[in-house]
């Protein structure tokens, strides 16, 4: 599904250059559950932006489903994000005065999907994310942190993307609730979705089947689950 070839990202401010990524290469197969782990400033967020078609590399190639999106225009990247990728963020990014259902189906309104179909799609996404139906008409700011993250997961699922990108999805949750959210990602992975989880915590990364460790903009380690005991805990 994903192939990165020698991805490099350099930010320029005046005469100053900052190297965020350097010569990063790897492949991710459809249906994998991969964690990308690294401390602050390691380049993991920059890499996530590349994988999520939110940014393009300074050099190198990024193939998604066989398409080289490295040099896509902003409009082309937007189409890729809409059709192929679902995002889950640490801060939830929900509309606080909108109901749970409205938070989920609002993107479908812009696509002019009929109202009945919108509700059907939102209901399916919320069920897959594990949110009880009794909460559908609550405002998002009336929910607990775990419930809000389930709504955020449902929003990522509503267009049925093959790839889910989760950036520190348990960062604003207590450890018990975080485990429940991680179990939700495992369930979605078992259903065939490709999951990429961005984190700086070892215990979060260990929920994935494969861990890519990034440091100073370069891949330091790429290990499967059987070798995860070798991964050092990384702290902010």
- pLDDT per residue as tens digits for the range 15-25: 899 999 999 99
* Structural domains of the chain sorted by starting position, each given as residue range(s) with its CATH number in brackets: 29-54+84-230 (3.40.50.300)
Q: What are phi and psi of 155, to 5 degrees?
A: -60, -35
Separation between Cα atoms, residue 125 and residue 131, nearest integer Å = 9
Q: How confident is the model at residue 38 (pLDDT cuts 50, 70, 90)?
A: very high
Q: How confident is the model at residue 158 (pLDDT cuts 50, 70, 90)?
A: very high
- pLDDT per residue as tens digits for the range 41-69: 899 999 999 999 999 999 999 999 998 99
Separation between Cα atoms, residue 23 and residue 5, nearest integer Å = 8
Share of the chain above pLDDT 90, in %: 71
pLDDT score recorded for residue 70 = 87
Share of the chain above pLDDT 70, in %: 95
Q: How confident is the model at residue 233 (pLDDT cuts 50, 70, 90)?
A: very low
Q: How confident is the model at residue 106 (pLDDT cuts 50, 70, 90)?
A: confident
pLDDT score recorded for residue 226 = 59
Would the pLDDT of 232 be above 50? no
Among residues 100, 177, 179, the alpha carbon closest in space to that of 141 is found at 100
Mean pLDDT of 121-143: 93
Among residues 19, 168, 37, the alpha carbon closest in space to that of 93 is found at 168
Separation between Cα atoms, residue 209 and residue 35, nearest integer Å = 8
Tokens 């782990």 correspond to 37
pLDDT score recorded for residue 228 = 45
pLDDT score recorded for residue 188 = 93
Q: What's the distance, CA 232 to chain centroid? A: 23
- The whole-chain average pLDDT of the chain stands at 90
pLDDT score recorded for residue 2 = 95
- pLDDT per residue as tens digits for the range 181-210: 999 999 999 999 999 999 999 999 999 999
């Amino acid at each position: 599904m994903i192939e990165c070839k020698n991805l490099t990202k350099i930010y320029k401010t005046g005469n100053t250059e900052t190297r965020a990524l350097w010569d990063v290469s790897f492949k991710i197969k459809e249906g994998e559950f991969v964690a990308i782990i690294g401390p602050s400033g390691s380049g993991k967020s920059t890499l996530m932006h590349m994988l999520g078609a939110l940014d393009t590399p300074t050099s190198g190639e990024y193939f998604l489903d066989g398409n080289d999106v490295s040099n896509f225009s902003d409009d082309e990247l937007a189409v890729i994000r809409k059709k192929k990728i679902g995002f889950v963020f640490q801060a939830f990014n929900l509309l606080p005065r909108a109901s749970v259902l409205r938070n989920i189906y609002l993107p479908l309104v812009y696509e002019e999907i009929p109202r009945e179909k919108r509700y059907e799609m939102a209901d399916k996404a919320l069920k897959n994310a594990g949110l009880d139906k009794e909460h559908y008409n609550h405002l998002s700011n009336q929910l607990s942190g775990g419930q809000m993250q389930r709504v955020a997961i449902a929003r990522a699922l509503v267009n049925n993307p093959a790839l889910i990108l989760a950036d520190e999805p348990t960062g604003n949750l207590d450890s018990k609730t975080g485990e429940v959210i991680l179990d939700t990602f495992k369930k979605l992975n078992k259903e065939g979705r490709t999951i990429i989880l961005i984190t700086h915590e070892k215990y979060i990364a260990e929920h994935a089947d494969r861990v890519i460790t990034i440091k100073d903009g370069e891949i330091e380690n790429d290990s499967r689950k059987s070798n995860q005991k070798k991964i050092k805990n990384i702290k902010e």
